[in-house]
Chain A
Amino acid sequence: EAGVAQSPRYKIIEKRQSVAFWCNPISGHATLYWYQQILGQGPKLLIQFQNNGVVDDSQLPKDRFSAERLKGVDSTLKIQPAKLEDSAVYLCASSATPLAPGTDTQYFGPGTRLTVL
């Protein structure tokens, strides 16, 4: 079974530029998550999709971050404009069972390491 795919793996941009990340979840997984992991910290959930609908985006900085999951499969996360504090690893994860507490295992992609100069 193929895992969660993310691209690019690394990205370096200047502040105020825009950047987009792509995620392809495990086939058939209904739920998709984007996390931000700052160096030395654990991942922080930015947004959760169930199929193509948003379940939780309470920690997404909506003035600069946006995400979509058209057709309920692939997803893109965009930052526009980027700030220095956005430097982090952006992790995508997916799970098979939507909104099933205690039974869900999340499968993570390798992440995209973003450096904002």
Chain B
Amino acid sequence: SQQGEEDPQALSIQEGENATMNCSYKTSINNLQWYRQNSGRGLVHLILIRSNEREKHSGRLRVTLDTSKKSSSLLITASRAADTASYFCATGPRLGNKLVFGAGTILRVKS
């Protein structure tokens, strides 16, 4: 079963605009991670935010986590055509390391 649900399912924006993707989950977590998947490729880890953190930055990426609402958002600023990919959130449990992935958001950045 999939824990995370991403919203929207698909997003199309112009180069230079910001892209925001949301993730909701159901159970308590230890951490939440975001991954990117380019067409025909494996997943690439983008960022991890722990349950006791509220916001984290990495380059053009900004992730927020609201554990009271069981939700997270990924913001990509000043998007580029190369950001075109599918983005997945994955929740890490309190015990073990079994990540549970959502269905993903397909982002298309038009140049």
| A contact residues vs B (CB 8 Å cutoff) | 4, 31, 40-45, 48, 55-56, 91, 93, 95, 98-102, 104-111, 113
A104 and B97 contact, CB distance less than 8 A: yes
The A-contacting residues of B in range 26-60, CB under 8 angstroms, are 30-31, 33, 35, 40-45, 48, 50-51
Contacts of A56 in B (CB 8 A): 96, 98
Query: What are 9 of the A-B contact pairs (CB < 8 Å)?
Result: A31-B97, A41-B104, A42-B2, A42-B90, A44-B2, A45-B100, A95-B97, A101-B95, A111-B42
Work out how many contacts link A and B, with CB atoms closer than 8 A: 70
Known A99-B97, A101-B97, A102-B30: A109·B42 in contact at CB below 8 Å: yes
Q: For B103, give its contact among A42, A48, A109 (CB under 8 Å).
A: A42
Apart from A101-B31, A101-B93, A108-B43, 14 more pairs, CB < 8 Å: A42-B2, A42-B101, A43-B101, A48-B97, A99-B96, A101-B94, A102-B50, A104-B97, A105-B45, A106-B45, A108-B44, A110-B40, A110-B42, A111-B42
Give the dominant DSSP class at A's interface: loop
Chain B contributes a number of interface residues (CB within 8 A of A) equal to 30
The A-contacting residues of B in range 84-111, CB under 8 angstroms, are 88, 90, 92-104
Contacts of A93 in B (CB 8 A): 42-43
- Nearest first, the 10 closest Cβ-Cβ pairs linking A and B are A42-B101, A108-B42, A108-B43, A101-B30, A102-B31, A110-B42, A102-B30, A105-B45, A43-B101, A104-B97
Residue of A nearest to B4 (CB): A42
B41 and A110 contact, CB distance less than 8 A: yes
Q: How far is the CB of B39 from chain A (nearest CB, A)?
A: 11
Contacts of B94 in A (CB 8 A): 101
Residue of B nearest to A42 (CB): B101
B101 and A107 contact, CB distance less than 8 A: no
